Amino acid sequence: MLKPPRLSRSPSKSAMTALYARYNSDTAVSQYCDAHYGLDKFGVENFSRKITRISAAALEGKPQNSALNLGCAVGRTSFELATHFEQVTGIDFSSRFINIAKRIQKRGKICYQLPEEGVLISDHEISLADLNLAETADKVTFLQGDVCRLEPRFCDYDLVLAANLIDRLPEPGKFLANIHQRLVIGGLLVITSPYNWLEHYTPRKRWLGGRFRAGTPLTSLEGLSKKLSRHFTMIGEPLELEYVIRETARTFQHCISQVTIWHRIH
């Protein structure tokens, strides 16, 4: 069983590295390369493509100069966002993920392996050109870093996307309390999450929801709304967005993230 590393109020870089060891593993590299760049499965559209379309549609009529993609993993969503935005910054704590994203950006392609069954693996190659994304590479900047400790220069974005990130943070409430600083007034914050809270990543008392507060059930949407209400209003209703993560040739995770879109009002 995974034991959570001991965390002080502000986790040190080494505690963070231990916390996110999974995102530097061979298994995670395979799964995320396939989820981002592999073929669609079971008729479920690629998550990066779909969340980009939803975000761009929500921004219609507003400036689409710059986007900040927090927890960008191996990069596909940042390239997709660059089909709409002039500049995209993708940040992830996993140095392995960021190195893969940078390699694809530089070489225009990447090779990766997938587990088939037992010790058998298969080799795969994808190129940005195959995905109609070759023209986007120059518009994206990938950086390794902790999204909870971003420098002030990461500000004035028209869109901030935090896809499947908040339930992996030690202090999601603190992250949300400061996130408005990254956006222009009128900009949009798009959050997606399966609200898969785990004590390995987030102590239970800091879960935004999925727990009881004073004996009453608290949903993650309620917790999220409370944390964001000072600077944002929610646009429309939450959406449910599917994605599939391949484990082996015959084992898959079928996940659903709730998508909420927030308009920065002050």
Ligand X SMILES: C[S@@+](CC[C@H](N)C(=O)[O-])C[C@H]1O[C@@H](n2cnc3c(N)ncnc32)[C@H](O)[C@@H]1O
What is the number of other CB atoms lying within 10 angstroms of the CB of residue 83?
Answer: 16
Which two three-digit tokens encode residue 134? 């070759």
The candidate with the shortest Cα–Cα distance to 39, out of 126, 136, 137, is 126
Residue 136 binding ligand X, by CB under 6 A: no
Which of the residues 8 through 67 are near ligand X (CB under 6 A)?
20, 23, 35
Q: Which of 38, 71, 90, 223 binds ligand X (CB under 6 A)?
A: 71
Stretch that binds ligand X, among 60-68, 134-142, 158-166, 224-232 (CB under 6 A): 158-166
Applying CB under 6 A, which of residues 68, 163, 183, 191 lies at the interface with ligand X? Answer: 163
- Choose the stretch contacting ligand X; rule: CB under 6 A; options: 56-64, 157-165, 229-237, 246-254: 157-165
SS (HEC) of 22-91:
HHHCHHHHHHHHHHHHCCCECCECCHHHHHHHHHHHHCCCCCCCEEEEECCCCCHHHHHHCCCCCEEEEE
**DSSP per position, 148-188:** GG--TTS--EEEEEEES-GGG-S-HHHHHHHGGGGEEEEEE
Among 50, 84, 139, 168, binds ligand X (CB under 6 A): 168
Nearer to ligand X, 168 or 231 (CB): 168
Q: Which of 73, 82, 159, 241 binds ligand X (CB under 6 A)?
A: 73
* Structural tokens at position 116: 């088939």
State the residues that interact with ligand X by CB under 6 A.
20, 23, 35, 71, 73, 91-94, 97, 146-148, 163-165, 168-169
